Copies of this chain bind each other. A is one copy, B any other.
Amino acid sequence: MSRLLIEQLNEEQLAEVKRQMAIYSQGTQEIIPTEELAAKVAKSVLKNQPLKIKLGLDPSAPDVHLGHTVVLNKLRQFQENGHTIQLLIGDFTGKIGDPTGKSVARKQLTDEEVKHNAKTYFEQFAKVIDMDKVELHYNSEWLSQLSFEDVINLAGKITVARLLERDDFEERIAFRKPISLHEFFYPLMQGYDSVVLESDIELGGTDQHFNILMGRHFQEKFAKEKQVAILMPLLEGLDGVDKMSKSKKNYIGIDESPQEMYGKAMSIPDELMNKYFELVTDFTPEQIETIKDQIKTAVLHPRDAKMLLGKTIVRMYHGTEAAEKAEQHFISIFQKGLMPDVIPVINWKGKTEITIIDLLIDLKLFNSKGEARRMIENRGVKINGNKVEDTELQITITNNLIVQVGKRKYLKIKL
């Protein structure tokens, strides 16, 4: 089919298919299968029909950080090329929760919570994709309508062995850890959603490999055209080790202030810079190649590259002006020698919500609360370069938070 289609394309159309394929392939971990993606893009170009690109969302965790934007950026690329985004809110599972009550992640949500979380998602997504052009779907619409007979028919289209191939199931069988039968239904649902939505492509992180292939499986069983899986790499967080996540506190939230964002971006390990350029910026493949080359050939100093990265991230979520300001702020503090290059690091084990005075005491910067209060009143305490003006200030401890007392005392907090 692929070759047949490509033969029908004129030169201009063929160039367009190649152009789109270069964009969609950028930074992906895996496309399953690439030739089907090419065929779909070709068909779309030939018939001037948009493709349907599905992204499934778990309605229980609406805080969006840069880790999430890896797939969002890929969605944006499709949207910019005229394709249709299908955002699928998995509200059915959210409303059911976990019948065994064992999974904390699958807490049962009310209709209101689902709506509120979806809204929170959308507000944040609007910073990356054009939400006006997005199709929104809630899978409770069709899943709640399924009868037992429908469920049995669905279950008749897959084998137990195929489900047990999922890594975590396989592992649990091997270690004789129980798998509750209802857990088999989550991949089934995700697959069936693609049948209903007739998705052409489903996006997800590599951890969604199995579930997204379920879509292909069930679409085939229901005699639909099979979707292509585009799997994006998982983005390591600021620690350079774990996947970026809220619970690991190694994230940059897309709702954070320009200064926070910029500051956090500057703490990204050098070796992850290329990956961040590829996955979280809106640079074209060519631009990224140029940057990579410049870093490699030492034309661009890693610190400058990282500043470019930080500035780009801030620009994407707060605009050009905020990006300039965040850079200036950083330069004024970090680069103009106001802060030493090497700052002692404290591994923080305490509370993450704390008053400024308790923090200063806990960090052993002062021996008494009185001393600490006087220093604040004398405007001698700074948090991330900002003067503390209120002795009652509540601090939320984040990773890499810098506490400065007087001219020369600095501490950096690691979580």
In whole angstroms, how far apart are the Cα atoms of A90 and B32 in the complex? 43
* B152 engages A96 (CB within 8 Å): yes
Known contacts: A147-B144, A149-B144. The answer to whether A184 contacts B161 by CB under 8 A is no
* B155 engages A182 (CB within 8 Å): yes
Distance (whole angstroms) from the CB of A138 to the closest CB of chain B? 14
Q: Of all chain B residues, which has the CB nearest A152?
A: B182
Which interface class (under 10, 10 to 19, 20 to 34, 35 or more) fits A?
35 or more
* B181 engages A184 (CB within 8 Å): yes
Q: Which of A41-49, A171-179, A249-257 contacts B (4 or more CB under 8 A)?
A: A171-179
Distance (whole angstroms) from the CB of A21 to the closest CB of chain B? 36
* A179 engages B153 (CB within 8 Å): no
Distance (whole angstroms) from the CB of A176 to the closest CB of chain B? 7
- The A interface is mostly helix, strand or loop, or mixed, namely helix
**A158 within 8 Å of B by Cβ?**
yes
**A156 within 8 Å of B by Cβ?**
yes
What are 12 pairs between A and B in contact, CB < 8 Å? A96-B152, A99-B157, A148-B148, A151-B151, A153-B182, A155-B181, A155-B182, A156-B181, A159-B178, A160-B160, A160-B178, A163-B181
**A361 within 8 Å of B by Cβ?**
no
**A198 within 8 Å of B by Cβ?**
no
In whole angstroms, how far apart are the Cα atoms of A152 and B184 in the complex? 9
* A181 engages B153 (CB within 8 Å): no
**A347 within 8 Å of B by Cβ?**
no
**A98 within 8 Å of B by Cβ?**
yes
**A100 within 8 Å of B by Cβ?**
yes
* B144 engages A156 (CB within 8 Å): no
**A180 within 8 Å of B by Cβ?**
yes
A144 contact from B143, B148, B157, B173, Cβ within 8 A: B148
